Structure 1
C-alpha cells in the first residue's frame, strides 16, 4: 500500500478547506436571499395595508407598538384570523375579474411605477421583456396608459375552445 506524502495530504486538505469555504459562502448567500425575500414580503404587506404613505417615524412607531403585543398569543391569533380573512378576500374578490395579461412598454419604467405594476399583480418577465400576470384588465389598462403601455389578454387553448375560437392565435386587447 502506497503511502501519501505530506505534500499530497496538505494539498488534499487545502482542497477540502476551499470546498468548505465555497459551501459556506453559498449558505450565506442563500440566507441573504431569504432575508431579502422576507423584507420584500413585509414591504408588500405594509403597502397592502395602506401604510406605505405614512411618515417613517409614524410607521416605525406603529410597528413598535405591534412588537409590544407580539408576545400575547391571543392577539397574534386575532391578527392571524383578520389577516387571513383579508388576504382571502383580496384573492377571491380580485379573482373574479383577474385574467392573464401581458403589458409592453415602449421605454424603461421608473422604479415607483414598476412597484405599482407589481401591486396590481404583474411581474417582470426578463426573458420575454414584458410584464405579465393575473390582474384586472381595466385597472392594468388604466395604469399602463400612464406610460403608453399596451395591454394584451392572454388566451389559453381552453379559453379558445370555450369561446369557439379554436385555431385563432392572435391576442386581444
Structure 2
C-alpha cells in the first residue's frame, strides 16, 4: 500500500471517530441533524476556546468529557450530559 493510501485511511478513520463523538454526545438527535446548527455550534465552541474564557471552558469541557467516557466504560450514562 502506498504511503498516501495509508495517510488517507488514517485521516478517514480520524474523521469517522470525530463524527462518532458528535453522535455519541447526542448532538445529531437534539439538532434533528441540522448541519448548519451543528456547524454553528462548533464555530461558537472554537470562538469560545480562543476567547479570554478559553482556558476555563477547556478545563470544564475536558472534565465533562473524561467523566462521560468513564461512565460509558462502566455502562452508566452521565446525569447531566
TM-score (norm: length of structure 2)? 0.74
What is the deviation of 1:87? Answer: 0.9
Q: Secondary structure at the match of 1:70?
A: helix
The residue that corresponds to 2:49 in the other structure is 70
What is the deviation of 1:32? Answer: 1.1
What is the deviation of 1:80? Answer: 0.9
Q: Does 1:38 align with 2:30?
A: no
Q: Does 1:59 align with 2:38?
A: yes
Aligned residues: 70
What is the deviation of 1:79? Answer: 1.0
Q: Give the helix-richer structure, 1 or 2.
A: 2
What is the deviation of 1:70? Answer: 2.6
What is the deviation of 1:81? Answer: 0.8
* Structure 2 residues not aligned, in runs of 5+: 77-81
* Structure 1 residues not aligned, in runs of 5+: 1-24, 95-173
| CA–CA separation in structure 2 for the residues paired with 1:73 and 1:32 | 32
1:86-97 maps to which residues of 2 (within 5 A)?
A: 86-93=68-75
Q: Does 1:82 align with 2:64?
A: yes
Larger Rg: 1
What is the deviation of 1:37? Answer: 0.8
RMSD after superposition: 1.7
Runs of 4+ in 1 over 4 A off after TM superposition: none
Greater RCO, 1 or 2 (C-alpha within 8 Å, sep 6+): 1
Q: Give the strand-richer structure, 1 or 2.
A: 1
* Residues 37-73 of structure 1, C-alpha deviations (whole Å, 9 max, x = no match): 1111111111111111321111111111011123323
